[in-house]
Amino acid sequence: MTGGDMAAGSCTAECDPVAYDHSRPAMARLWVRWGGGKDYNPADKALGDKVKAHFPQVTSIARQRLAFRSRVVRALAGGHGIDQFLVAGVDMPQIDEVHAVAQSINPRARVVYCDADVLVMTYAEAMFAGESPGACGFVRAGLDDPGAMLEGAAETLDLDRPVAVLLINSLDLLPEPQAVAALAAFRAILAAGSYVAFCHLTAEHDRGLAALGDVCADTSPGPPRVRDLASLERLCAGMVMVPPGLVSAPAWRPDPGPWPVPTDVDLRCGVGEVCGQQRRRRAL
């Protein structure tokens, strides 16, 4: 099944975007607002501006997320030869989308976008399906159901070969048990030589960010949470961290330039390699 076929067949009456609750702010659209994009509604703008007033750093965090995403895709596609990507948690279309970056390096790269948010996936399917020179698939499942996500991704990706999973905007939405379960599922299913790349909010520089979840309590799919370095290191157990390890987002392989790398961004990033014996993919 091609990406175009998936896009056409995945929108059913059960997930009608017309019935979508636009009165409830959504984290994907809030990140767009904070990052300077345009795809958000009045509810997102109102909450997004409230958050910016309390936590001015959020605009820098939003931009650093996208910058890390571009760098890590370039690093994995160009430096590690990865040609399969699973985006677990989709942004509203902005700049340097994963398939565009990966396929600029390897036109045959395959990319699957996964999210449970109906509107986000509707946008992704409409805007990405026709422009991709390689395979581009879409799965309506969230990181809270990694089994469904991987099962759907297997329609486009060969899970017996290495895959890079990108958790750029989704891991900090999960409570601890679900975050642990999601990462365990990827380690159990993905082939050796796969990678898991992630961003996560912290409150190392602005302790007040710990209250961000309370301010965003009514967002969909749920409020973001911060984790400290020790918690993030525990989530990385069972993987070998790629240099430079678990670092502040701007410090993860920054692009060359004359400007100093910021050191006060409350966003940790890292890439872990899935190790172990190469195995046939077990039943999902």
| Per-residue pLDDT tens digits for 191-201 | 999 999 999 99
Cα separation of 107 and 99, whole Å?
Answer: 9
Question: Would you state the pLDDT for residue 263?
Answer: 84
Q: What is the DSSP letter of 167?
A: E
Question: Would you state the pLDDT for residue 133?
Answer: 61
Residue with token string 């290495």: 162
pLDDT grade, residue 131 (50/70/90)? low
Helices (H), the chain: 3-9, 27-35, 42-54, 58-74, 98-105, 118-128, 146-153, 176-189, 212-215, 229-235
**pLDDT: which is higher, 256 or 195:** 195
Backbone angles phi, psi at 201, to 5 degrees: -70, 145
- pLDDT over 90 at 231, yes or no: yes
- pLDDT over 50 at 13, yes or no: no
Cα separation of 269 and 267, whole Å?
Answer: 7
Going along the chain from its start, the domains and CATH numbers come out as 21-253+263-274 (3.40.50.150)
Question: Do the beta carbons of residue 271 and residue 239 sit within 8 Å?
Answer: no
Question: Would you state the pLDDT for residue 20?
Answer: 59
Question: Would you state the pLDDT for residue 160?
Answer: 95
Sequence-separated (6 or more) residues with CB below 8 Å from residue 268: 199, 200, 202, 229, 232, 246, 247, 248, 249
Sequence-separated (6 or more) residues with CB below 8 Å from residue 208: 54, 55
Q: What is the mean pLDDT of the chain?
A: 87
Instruction: Average the pLDDT over each of 79-83, 117-121, 144-148, 247-251 and give the range with the smallest value.
Output: 117-121
Tokens of 93: 């279309």
Tokens of 73: 């895709």
- pLDDT over 80 at 52, yes or no: yes
* pLDDT digit string, tens, across residues 66-124: 999 999 999 999 999 999 999 999 988 777 899 999 999 999 999 999 999 888 888 88
- What integer is the mean pLDDT of 157-163? 96
Question: Would you state the pLDDT for residue 19?
Answer: 55
Helices (H), 146-265: 146-153, 176-189, 212-215, 229-235
Question: Do the beta carbons of residue 143 and residue 235 sit within 8 Å?
Answer: no
Backbone angles phi, psi at 249, to 5 degrees: -50, -45
- What integer is the mean pLDDT of 130-139? 76
Q: Strand 195-201 relative to strand 136-139: parallel, antiparallel, unpaired?
A: unpaired
